[in-house]
Structure 1
Amino acid sequence: MPLTSSSALTIAAQSAPQIAAQSASEEAGLTGIAGWSVDLMDAIGAPGAGLLVAAENLFPPLPSEIILPLAGFTATQGGFTLWEAIFWTTLGSVVGAMALYGLGAWLGRRRLYLIVDRLPLVDVHDVERTEDWFDKYGPYTIFLGRMVPLFRSLISIPAGVERMPFWFFTGLTTIGSLIWNTIFVVAGWILGANWHLMEQWAGVFSNIVYVVVIVFLLWWVVKRVLKISKGRTDGSREESVEEILERRARKDEQMRHQREEKKAARRAKRA
């Protein structure tokens, strides 16, 4: 008895080899972090790029130098637009920075000083000097730090500790992140399948930063060990943490008054 057309189609479909659908990363030939990132962006679109960048702020080993060009490359595949990629990655950068700012604000100066006071080789006065430097150059540090690997994440913590005005911090972070993210996303969009060329260039820059940081830390540790071994301390341990905190509070109050006086002088000049 001849088979009906529907029966023939059913048998043919059952006998045909099953071909598993390829993921976006498999189609692009990507593995590891790059492959996982492409699959996430393919699954939920541009917000996936934002989630990845936010995670990079909290976990620096997840490199934005890979994520951002990949977001631009993925935009060329039609999943989302270039402008969506820039918007969501910048939003992710800002949200991640806000979380670290909140961590710094929660930590606060008192907790930070008490923790540092218990650490070997580190002196509370080192933190004081860092605070003085941040008081002078904090805004520049926040803005430019968004474009430097490693510091991009860490710089938000001292901003929280110092209680930099939240919206001022957010504005600086947004502008710095927008510039950095746009460069990498647009580069990935232009390069397309050759996005990894941007990763290679950024990798060289990142390695230079890491080497400079490591050399500085080694120099600082050796200098501090030699100083301690020769007994040439600066006497910071003789001053209690509470005394240092009180002195810092007085200095903060003095700086606040100076800022108010400058504002009043500018208003009087305009009047």
Structure 2
Amino acid sequence: MEALGPVGAGLIVFLENVFPPIPSEVILPLAGFTASQGSFTIAEAIFWTTLGSILGAFVLYGLGRWLGHDRTVWLAARIPFVDPGDIVKTVAWFGRHGKKAVFFGRMLPIFRSLISIPAGIEKMNLVTFGLLTAAGSLLWNSIFVVAGFLLGENWSALLEYADILKYIVVAGVAALVIWWFVRAVLRVRARRRERELERVL
């Protein structure tokens, strides 16, 4: 960040949006701390990190748009234990709650990146997607950049709270994955029993 200035902070956030394992919870307060040292202004830090968030989101939006609804369902049908019907239900849910999902998703680890893909699949209006992404990213980025700026050299204290949020989200995702897997296995077994009964009859 000292070498590239606020553009460097924006570049790292862009990569974080495309490659979720890079943690914005570290990047943003560090950008705020760097701004507090006079390397650049806090306004520049917020502007460039938010721009990085928006551009990264559009990359994954483009991926979702390229995949499209039909191709996604087709791919899902070829993945073991994945029911294309679940994809259709997910898409229907996104159709009802997509705007809220895009806005609030920007404030959740992992989801802030992945939520762009279903938005692209459903061909959400580009302007609407961009505005919701900008609003959610601006709010999230500002909180962490300003906190890092105010805390100064103690900016790393934020990581403890960010980790708690991350663990909650990861635990929730893990629970959903386990629930989905168990349900998929039970569904496969039920279908096998039905086929066996049909053969007997």
TM-score class normalised by the smaller sequence: over 0.9
Q: Residue deviations 1:35-91, cap 9 Å, x none? A: xxxxxx111100000000000001111000000000000001111000000000000
Identify which of 182, 191, 198 aligns with 2:158.
198
138, 160, 167: which one aligns with 2:120: 160
The yes-or-no answer on 1:179 pairing with 2:144 is no
Indicate if the aligned counterparts of 2:73 and 2:88 stay in contact, CA closer than 8 A.
Answer: no
Aligned length: 194
Q: What is the TM-score when the length of structure 1 is the normalising length?
A: 0.70
Larger radius of gyration: 1
Report 1 or 2 for greater relative contact order, CA contacts < 8 Å, sequence distance ≥ 6.
2
Residues 52 and 118 of structure 1: is their aligned pair in 2 closer, same or farther, counting only changes over 3 Å? same
Alignment partner of 1:72 is 2:69:
no
Residue in structure 1 matched with residue 129 of structure 2 by the alignment: 169
**Cα root mean square deviation, aligned:** 1.3
- After TM superposition, where is structure 1 displaced by more than 2 Å over at least 4 residues in a row? 230-234
Instruction: Tell me the amino acid that sits aligned with residue 50 of structure 1.
Output: G
Identity %: 54
Whole-angstrom distance in 2 between the partners of 1:233 and 1:169: 45
Q: Distance in 2 between matches of 1:230 and 1:79?
A: 63
Give the Cα separation in 2 of the matches to 1:233 and 1:196. Answer: 56
Read off the aligned partner of 1:73 and give its amino acid letter: F
The answer to whether 1:137 aligns with 2:128 is no
Point out where structure 2 has 5 or more consecutive residues left out of the alignment: 195-201
Q: CA offset at residue 172 of structure 1? A: 0.3
Distance in 1 between the 2:193 and 2:153 partners?
57
For 2:175, give the aligned amino acid: V
Supply the AA of the counterpart residue of 1:104: G
- Matched residues in 2 for 1:91 and 1:113: separation? 32
Match of 1:32 in 2: none
TM-score of the pair, normalised by structure 2: 0.94
